[in-house]
Amino acid sequence: MVETLENLNEEQLNAVKHIDGPMLILAGAGSGKTKTLTSRLAYLIGEVGIDPANTLTLTFTNKAASEMRERALKLLNNSEIYPPLLCTFHKFGLLFLKFHIEKIGRKNNFVIIDTDDKKRIIRSIAKELKFDISASMAASEISKYKNSLLSPSVIIDKAQIPEYQKIAQIYKEYQKNIEDNNLVDFDDLLKLTYEILNQEDELRREISKKYTYIMVDEYQDTNELQFKLLELLASEHNNLCVVGDDDQSIYGWRGANIRNILEFAEIFSNTKTVKLETNYRSKKEILDAANGLIEHNSSRLGKKLISHKGEGGSIKIIHSIDESNEARTIASEIKSLIEKGIDAKEIAVLYRINALSRSLEEGFTKERLAYKLIGGIRFYERSEIKDIISYLRILTNLDDDFSLLRIINKPKRGVGKTSIEKLQNLADQNHCSIFSLYKNHGDLISKGLGKKAALAINELFENLIALQDEIKEGKLPSLLDMLEDKIKLKAYYQSLPDGFERVLNIDEFYGFFQESILLNPDLGLEELLNDISLQSDQDNITNDEISIMSIHAAKGLEFEYVYVIGLEEEFFPLLGDDCNIEEERRLGYVAITRAKSHLTLCYSDSRFYKGKRKIMQKSRFLGEAGLIQNSSLKITKSAIFKKGDLVKHKIFGIGRIQNISPSGKEYKLLINFGGNKKEILSSFVQSV
DSSP helix/strand/coil, 250: coil
ω before 411 within 30° of 0 (cis)? yes
First and final C-alpha spacing in the chain: 44
**Of the candidates 251, 224, 253, 216, the residue with the CA atom closest to the CA atom of residue 60:** 216
Whole-angstrom Cα distance, residue 260 to residue 257?
6
Count Cα neighbours of 157 within 13 Å in the Cβ-side half-sphere. 9
Based on the residue annotation, tell me whether 361 is a catalytic residue of this protein. Answer: no
| Packing angle of the helix pair 62-76, 33-43 (nearest 10 deg) | 50
Distances (CA, A) of 139 to 133, 134, 149, 471: 11, 9, 15, 40
111, burial (CB in 10 Å: exposed 0-12, middle 13-18, buried 19+): exposed
Select which of 12, 33, 226, 406 is catalytic: 33
DSSP helix/strand/coil, 348: strand
Select which of 300, 352, 406, 594 is catalytic: 594
Whole-angstrom Cα distance, residue 6 to residue 109?
48
Select which of 34, 396, 494, 538 is catalytic: 34
**Of the candidates 592, 665, 612, 600, the residue with the CA atom closest to the CA atom of residue 294:** 592
Reported as type and span, the H/E element at residue 254 is none
Whole-angstrom Cα distance, residue 42 to residue 50?
10
Based on the residue annotation, tell me whether 33 is a catalytic residue of this protein. Answer: yes
Select which of 187, 217, 326, 570 is catalytic: 217
Based on the residue annotation, tell me whether 594 is a catalytic residue of this protein. Answer: yes
Count Cα neighbours of 26 within 13 Å in the Cβ-side half-sphere. 20
Select which of 212, 248, 514, 600 is catalytic: 248
Q: How many helices (H) and strands (E) does the chain have?
A: 29, 23
Q: Do the Cβ atoms of 164 and 523 come closer than 8 Å?
A: no
Based on the residue annotation, tell me whether 248 is a catalytic residue of this protein. Answer: yes
Q: Do the Cβ atoms of 303 and 275 come closer than 8 Å?
A: yes
Strand 272-276 vs strand 314-320: parallel, antiparallel, or unpaired? unpaired
What is the chain's alpha carbon radius of gyration, rounded to the nearest angstrom? 28
Whole-angstrom Cα distance, residue 364 to residue 370?
7
The residues, ordered by sequence, that sit 6+ positions from 90 with a Cβ below 8 Å of its Cβ are 186, 189, 190
Whole-angstrom Cα distance, residue 171 to residue 142?
6
Select which of 11, 141, 188, 218 is catalytic: 218
ω before 152 within 30° of 0 (cis)? no
Strand 559-564 vs strand 595-604: parallel, antiparallel, or unpaired? parallel
Count Cα neighbours of 66 within 13 Å in the Cβ-side half-sphere. 3
Long-range contact pairs involving 617-621 (C-beta distance under 8 Å, separation at least 24): 617/568, 617/569, 618/319, 618/567, 618/568, 618/569, 619/567, 619/568, 619/569, 619/571, 619/572, 619/573, 620/569, 620/573, 621/293, 621/567, 621/572, 621/573, 621/585, 621/588
Whole-angstrom Cα distance, residue 678 to residue 126?
32
Give how far the C-alpha of residue 247 lies from the chain's centroid of Cα atoms, to the nearest Å. 17
Return the amino acid letter for 643.
K
DSSP helix/strand/coil, 312: coil
292, burial (CB in 10 Å: exposed 0-12, middle 13-18, buried 19+): middle
What residues are labeled active site?
33-34, 217-218, 248, 594
